[in-house]
Amino acid sequence: MVRGGPRGGMGGRDAAAARDEIAKAPKVPDLGRRIAHLFRPHRARLAVTITLVLITAALTVVPPLLTQRAFDDGLFPRTGHPDLPVLTAIVGAIVVVWAISQALGVWQTYLTATVGNSVTAALRVRLFSRLQDMELGFFTRTRTGVIQSRLANDVGGVSNVLSNTVSSVVGNTVTVLAAFVAMVLLSWQLTIIALLLLPLLVVVQRRVGQRRARIATKTQESLSELSAITQEALSVSGILLAKAFTRQGSETSRYAAESERQLRLQIRQEMTGQGFFAILQVFLLVVPALVYLVSGMLLANGAPITAGTIVAFTTVQSRLTFPLLGLLRVALDLQTSTALFARIFEYLDLKPAIRDAPDAIDVPAGNRVGLVEFDHVSFAYPPAPGEREPVRILDDVSFTVAPGRFTALVGPSGAGKTTIGYLLPRLYDVTGGGVRFAGVDVRRLKQSSLLSRIGIVSQETYLFHATIRDNLRYAKDDATDEQIEAAARGANIHETIARFPDGYDTVVGERGYRLSGGEKQRVAIARVLLKNPPVVLLDEATSALDSVSERIVQEALDAASSGRTTLAIAHRLSTVLGADEILVIDGGRIVERGTHSDLVRLGGLYAELAAEQGVEPVDPVEPVDPALDAAPA
């Protein structure tokens, strides 16, 4: 079975398979170490932050101890009368301690926010960069919305953890330890009562965290699906399709169904563990009352407990309560975010199928730069999910395009023409044979060097939602206005742009929808002319245009290919009549080759295509024996 062209959008089965692959993502090894490694570039700030956290945490237990002194030495001293000078000094010390603590807290918050958001931003950029490095096949297998969800939802989901975890864990841990020491010093008997049920609470917390992590994974999968639906349905193409087939209602229903699933998952995630925290809150709030009861029992048995000790203990105990609650919540957040980190690192660990060889070289200079050679090339896609055999596309394709020559690829849809074109810039790699550029196998060339020497004009022109000038400068950042105008003139689009009210500063809209098909194609051609590559690849650049637009664009294409090696993939034969050589592709093989007149005289597949399209031969046709004029396949 032979299929032509790289596989594009995914059907329902492929989409479901992709979701299954994501849901069953392998566990990422050394996850904790890798998360910690994210903070490595910010070690200095992190050290200052931790120091501030330690100081602030230690200061939080000082006021309760001062409160004990305020009661026992200031309010109720052994003399029986309040000692105002002592009380004033202690109150002043409490105010100073709290003021210092709050000031350090503000500084700590700034550093924490800076480090956390810097790590988040760097993680997002790393993920985006990794995706930029992936081969074209990855994007034909994966829905755009799913990829966007990894960048937005998954990274956003761990942002809070990255921003607050370190300071929260360190600060709360130190506060809990300091409070525990203070409580033991005040009364070891009361400390036992205050901490009696904590081991049980830790065990329950761990189980709650595991359950929330599983729900978090499903929640992110649902967010990915929502992003995919949004991207598909609310793009300009998606809106046009929905309106054309009056499917707005079904698209809304599809989105609403997934949104309802997301709602249920969010509620489950929020409510999981709420019972646990409610019990914990009750326990922590009841502890002071139990402390009073036990204190009374100890006093009744003659224990030397003062009022200041009881007040200080309950105050310190409250200093332990909230940090402990914070630690348990952070532990839950970490368990929940583990699933998100695994999804992020799964993408960061992707290895591009097409990479530079260790000894890759730049395209050599010289008069062979425009030389293109296909040497017994075969190509097959790897088996798709659920398939056993690879999908064969090309078989034993050989041809040469000399520098400055024009070669066209024609044939029925699905014959493999576009795949041949995509093998030249190494958007895909051959599975047999070799493709040479300037005499060197493209697998031995640096991709950046190879792609810089090839200009591509595709059937589906992509323009950014920006000005015409910005879209043209995408080919050359430092292009002058004069160079931009010269490229536009060469592409036969300058006069059209000049008639726009804003000229080159006209915003073209998403994917260039404010321009006609012919105008978009000529802007794309101008972009290639501004790049000025020695080789041009034209992938059915006029197949979607009307005859008038085709003629105008064809003139621009002639300008783009003039003096350059040109490989044109054509559906309309009228656009390649002047080619130096036409290769007829069928079933992944070259079945005919020659000029237009030669192939019409041959009376084979090309002649049939020419007759179907009403294309007349350039030269008078003389009947010949096809066997004598047939070219090797």
Q: How confident is the model over 126-137, as pLDDT tens digits?
A: 888 888 888 888
Residue 283 has pLDDT above 80, yes or no: no
- What confidence score (pLDDT) does residue 277 get? 66
- What confidence score (pLDDT) does residue 595 get? 92
Neighbours of 415 (CB within 10 A): 26
- What confidence score (pLDDT) does residue 5 get? 41
- Mean pLDDT for the stretch of residues 195-201: 65
- What confidence score (pLDDT) does residue 377 get? 95
Residue 243 has pLDDT above 70, yes or no: no
Q: Predicted confidence band at 239 (pLDDT cuts at 50, 70, 90)?
A: low
Mind listing the pLDDT tens digit for each residue in 24-48? 444 566 777 888 888 888 888 888 8
Q: Domain for residue 463, yes or no? A: no
- Helices 307-348 and 155-186: angle between axes, nearest 10 degrees: 160
DSSP 84-104: HHHHHHHHHHHHHHHHHHHHH
- What confidence score (pLDDT) does residue 624 get? 45
Q: Predicted confidence band at 13 (pLDDT cuts at 50, 70, 90)?
A: very low
The gap from C-alpha 370 to its chain's centroid, in whole angstroms, comes to 35
Q: Domain for residue 208, yes or no? A: yes
Q: Which tokens hold the place of 90?
A: 């202690």
153 or 260, higher pLDDT: 260
CA distance 355 to 374: 20
Q: Which residue has 């064969």 as its token pair?
A: 392
Q: Domain for residue 86, yes or no? A: yes
Mind listing the pLDDT tens digit for each residue in 479-518? 999 999 998 888 888 989 999 999 999 998 877 778 888 8
Strands (E), 382-486: 391-401, 406-410, 432-437, 440-441, 454-458
Q: Into how many domains does the chain fold?
A: 1
> What's the 3-state SS for 37-58?
HCCHHHHHHHHHHHHHHHHHHH
Q: Predicted confidence band at 444 (pLDDT cuts at 50, 70, 90)?
A: very high
Q: Domain for residue 71, yes or no? A: yes
Residues with Cβ within 8 Å of 514's Cβ and at least 6 positions away in sequence, in order, are 506, 507, 508
Q: Which residue has 């924490």 as its token pair?
A: 112
Most confident stretch, 161-165, 279-283, 321-325, 537-541: 537-541
- What confidence score (pLDDT) does residue 204 get? 65
Residue span of the structural domain in which 335 resides: 12-348
- What confidence score (pLDDT) does residue 621 get? 45
Q: Domain for residue 543, yes or no? A: no
Contact 316, 176 (CB under 8 A): no
- DSSP summary character for residue 351: -
List residues bridging with 261 in a β-sheet: none
- What confidence score (pLDDT) does residue 489 get? 87
- The residue type of 133 is D
Q: Domain for residue 79, yes or no? A: yes
Q: What share of the chain is helix, strand, coil (3-state, %, to 5)?
A: 60, 10, 25
Positive or negative, the CA dihedral 131, 134, 140, 142 is negative
CA distance 580 to 597: 11
- What confidence score (pLDDT) does residue 19 get? 39
Q: Predicted confidence band at 22 (pLDDT cuts at 50, 70, 90)?
A: very low
330 or 252, higher pLDDT: 252
What's the whole-model pTM score? 0.68
Positive or negative, the CA dihedral 448, 454, 455, 459 is negative
- 260-274, 406-420, 588-602: lowest mean pLDDT where? 260-274
- Mean pLDDT for the stretch of residues 538-561: 69
CA distance 537 to 39: 45
Long-range contacts of the stretch 494-501 (C-beta < 8 A, 24+): 496/522, 497/468, 500/468
The gap from C-alpha 378 to its chain's centroid, in whole angstroms, comes to 32
- Helices 155-186 and 43-59: angle between axes, nearest 10 degrees: 40
Residues with Cβ within 8 Å of 244's Cβ and at least 6 positions away in sequence, in order, are none
Residue 423 has pLDDT above 90, yes or no: yes
Most confident stretch, 103-112, 258-267, 292-301, 484-493: 484-493
How many residues in the chain?
633
- What confidence score (pLDDT) does residue 385 get? 64
- What confidence score (pLDDT) does residue 480 get? 92
Residues with Cβ within 8 Å of 629's Cβ and at least 6 positions away in sequence, in order, are 594, 598, 601, 602
- Mean pLDDT for the stretch of residues 1-30: 42
Long-range contacts of the stretch 87-91 (C-beta < 8 A, 24+): 90/66
Residue 448 has pLDDT above 80, yes or no: yes
- Mean pLDDT for the stretch of residues 113-127: 84
Q: What b/e readout covers 140-167, taking b as 16+ CB neighbours within 10 angstroms?
A: ebbbebbbbbbbebbbebbbebbbbbbb
Q: Domain for residue 360, yes or no? A: no
- What confidence score (pLDDT) does residue 482 get? 92
CATH code where residue 205 lies: 1.20.1560.10
- The residue type of 216 is A
Pairing of strands 372-381, 391-401: antiparallel
- What confidence score (pLDDT) does residue 291 get? 74
**What mean pLDDT, rounded, does the chain reach?**
78
Residue 360 has pLDDT above 90, yes or no: yes
- What confidence score (pLDDT) does residue 430 get? 94
Read off φ and ψ for residue 366, nearest 5 degrees: 130, 180
497 or 572, higher pLDDT: 497
**DSSP H stretches of helix in 384-516:** 417-423, 447-451, 468-473, 481-490, 494-499
Mind listing the pLDDT tens digit for each residue in 470-481? 989 988 888 999
Mind listing the pLDDT tens digit for each residue in 142-153? 777 778 777 777
The gap from C-alpha 117 to its chain's centroid, in whole angstroms, comes to 17
Residue 567 has pLDDT above 80, yes or no: yes
- 340-349, 368-377, 542-551, 606-615: lowest mean pLDDT where? 542-551
CA distance 381 to 264: 39
- Mean pLDDT for the stretch of residues 87-93: 87
Residue 289 has pLDDT above 70, yes or no: yes
- What confidence score (pLDDT) does residue 625 get? 47
Sheet containing 565-569: give its strands across: 454-458, 535-539, 565-569, 406-410, 581-586, 589-594
Residue 21 has pLDDT above 70, yes or no: no
Q: Domain for residue 564, yes or no? A: no
392 or 68, higher pLDDT: 392
Q: Predicted confidence band at 231 (pLDDT cuts at 50, 70, 90)?
A: low
- What confidence score (pLDDT) does residue 235 get? 64
List residues bridging with 406 in a β-sheet: 566
